[in-house]
Amino acid sequence: MNISDLPMGNAPVPVRFEHFPVKWQAFLWRNWEYVPPAKLAEILQCPEQTVLDAAAELGLPMTHEVNPKWLLFGYLTIIRSNWHLLNYRQLLQLLDWTPEQLAYTLKEEDFFWAKLGALKPACGELKYMPLTPEERKATALFRERVRKHIPQECEMNYSEQPFTFAEKYAAQKFSGGTERFELNFIHSYAASCGDIFIDIEKRDPVPENLLQQYASMGIRGVWMHAILYLLHPVKGSEEFSRGYETRLRNLSVLAERCKKYGIGIYLYLNEPRGMPYAFYEKNPDWAGVDVPRNHMRANCTSRQKPLEWLEEACAAVFEAAPALAGAFMITMSENPTHCNYAFNKTACPLCRDRDGADLIAEVVAAAERGIHASSPGAKLLVSDWAWREKGTDTDNAAFKRKVIDRLPKNVWFMSISEWGKETGAGGVKGSVVDYSISQVGPSREAAEVWRYAQSRGLKTVAKIQMNNSWELSAVPYLPVPYLLQEHLDNLSHLGVDGLMLSWTLGGYPGGNLELLYKNVEVLAADKFSVNVAGKICEAWHLLSDAFREFPFSCPVIYVGPMNYGSMNLLYLKDTGYRATMIGYPYDDLTGWRDIYPEDIFEDQFRKVTEGWKKGLELLASLKEQLKPSDQAPYEELRRMAEASYCHLRSTYLQIRFVRQRNAGDKAAMIATVQEELSLVHQLYELARMDSRIGFEASNHYYYSLNDLIEKMVNCEDVIDRLSN
């Protein structure tokens, strides 16, 4: 594969970062903690000493040590940091990757190409150039701004290094409780969405200490992405499956390891996975609808070959890894699979007149036959994610009943609990698509289809988010336990058999997971002394009630600035870029707010954060009443609540800033930026102390410490420009 084969999209002009005097300084600043100075010098085509001198001029610490874990476990963060700075050749040089590695990551790692906007900014070759006198003066000002906010170099280093949380997992003291659900499983907090089975020595997706902690908390299963063509080749097209034997061996090792702790591995199957165009040159009898945006095709399951291979592949995988507990399937939306995955079957002459329910059911049936041929006791869970007749349909219970009627009788039926729940924040009517913590489930539709599946003899599973959601995923868990308790009680009353506890986010082995076996008051009594436990519950109530005001809509949670929080830069001029899915919020207020008018959108985040602050104030008032045994759980709660506030309040301020910018109100903009600056400081100290803050398994770190210092400089630059 050549670099020229990598996707470009419409290749727009990159965003300018005006707080840096020159572009190569932005590159140097952002990558200082990711790779050694020698690598930076190689890319900038200058001597290493030149890079060291330039770093000192910017105020970067000279005493830091590069953490090699960034390249192993934080490569998505590195790519995002450099997307507007480097061309593909230099980006590959920075990562020390081949074009094939990057192409795979863009295509298969949880929609990463879409998260980047489905475009590659047209970056020219970046080279070091000596500074002009004017640029040197501006560089001195940059350093001055850095030192204004971070006076000592030692304060620019982490108190707890990134990824340190992975070393701290351990079995927890479990005080028992009532187990209300037959099955639960969660996404492994250590697993990315990449090629996770190829090298489990370097990137272990289920380390022993994590399994010990999960098991001690009553977790019964973990799930991970599996791409079947990477585990079982298509005959005659083995080149797309290189390394499959290694992956299968490793998968079996992991399944056996998990089994020791009473934990089963569940594979996430979104199959038969669409392939690049080159595959169909050899396999024309697989070819389905064209997906040009992704440079690939779907597979036509009205032809027999894809379904025959799917059955064969499932049988082979479960035979090679007999300790696997099962799998769950998503059969619509997500990645290209069958011709109707995105409701576009009309583009296929073989599928256009077929019932969409049949297309779903036959994929499930093929997988079920294969799995149970090799492992009769394995569970196959079938998700109703995006099941509907047409893409615009909103009431889908009838269609879901039709699919349920066609499912094999030995599968479990899974529905997303909140999907379809009516919302009304600020008086704006909407409904939940995907999932939410602020909008407590289940929806009417979910309850209806579970009851129908139960009447047909199927066991039922609720997909929920226990720890966090895309409303805010940069903290390991949201301290809003009363919302989770309400949701669990609702599901228990409906007789749901099992719980899928998270999507790729929310797999932290703690936090709200304790609510699976005890209620909030018991949890408070277990963690805190009697003199503060009641007040802790009051604070939890305030935080939970505040979060109910979140202005939910699917676009809001995916493209709003909540997940990046104070890291997201401020721009005095409209960037012209549209916000991307958990990638770049930019300054796209129109995209952020979706169905909400600007004033209502702003006001809802005001309500969320003002209510949240009351909870923080109550927590602060308890400090003098704490006993020594209260200190650790109190500090844990304080950090989670404060970090959440920083992200949510920054979202409110960014909305205000864009509105004020559009209105030309410079004085108001300055006041907003000043408050934002104080939040950046608060978040900086929290992230410096706690390696969990800012991390999410499928997106890696949303920010580094240098990103947050850059935001401080950005705020100073904006204030100066507005003041002059």
Q: Mind listing the domains of the chain with CATH numbers?
A: 3-156 (no CATH), 175-522 (3.20.20.80), 532-723 (no CATH)
Establish whether the linkage from the previous residue to 272 is cis, with ω within 30° of 0: yes
Establish whether the linkage from the previous residue to 442 is cis, with ω within 30° of 0: yes
The tokens describing 346, both together, are: 């009309």
| Sites in the chain below the pLDDT cut of 50 | none
Phi, psi of 680 (to 5 degrees): -60, -45
d(CA 24, CA 85): 8
Instruction: Give 583-589's long-range contacts (Cβ < 8 A, gap of 24+).
Output: 583/80, 583/114, 583/115, 583/116, 583/117, 584/80, 584/116, 584/117, 585/559, 585/560, 585/561, 585/654, 586/15, 587/654, 587/658, 587/661, 588/559, 589/655, 589/658, 589/659, 589/662
Neighbours of 635 (CB within 10 A): 13
Contact 306, 359 (CB under 8 A): no
Burial of 395 (0-12, 13-18, 19+ CB in 10 A): exposed
Task: Name the residue among 301, 308, 305 with its Cα closest to residue 338.
Answer: 301
What is the predicted pLDDT for the residue at 293? 85
Contact 120, 8 (CB under 8 A): yes
Helix (H) or strand (E) holding 202: none
Phi, psi of 326 (to 5 degrees): 160, -155
Contact 276, 299 (CB under 8 A): no
Q: What is the CA radius of gyration of the chain?
A: 25
Contact 579, 559 (CB under 8 A): yes
What is the predicted pLDDT for the residue at 364? 99
What is the predicted pLDDT for the residue at 392? 86
Amino acid at 177: G
Q: Write the DSSP symbol of residue 14.
A: P
d(CA 210, CA 225): 18
The tokens describing 516, both together, are: 């699976």
Burial of 392 (0-12, 13-18, 19+ CB in 10 A): exposed
d(CA 690, CA 429): 38
Phi, psi of 685 (to 5 degrees): -65, -40
d(CA 360, CA 308): 15
The tokens describing 537, both together, are: 């519950």
What is the predicted pLDDT for the residue at 176? 66
Q: Write the DSSP symbol of residue 299.
A: E
> The tokens 């934990």 sit on which residue?
263
Neighbours of 40 (CB within 10 A): 24
State the DSSP string of 564-597: TGGGSPP-SS---PPP-TTS--TT-HHHHHTTS-
d(CA 149, CA 152): 9
d(CA 52, CA 563): 33
The pTM is what? 0.96
Burial of 590 (0-12, 13-18, 19+ CB in 10 A): exposed
Contact 213, 510 (CB under 8 A): yes
Task: Name the residue among 197, 222, 198, 195 with its Cα closest to residue 208.
Answer: 222
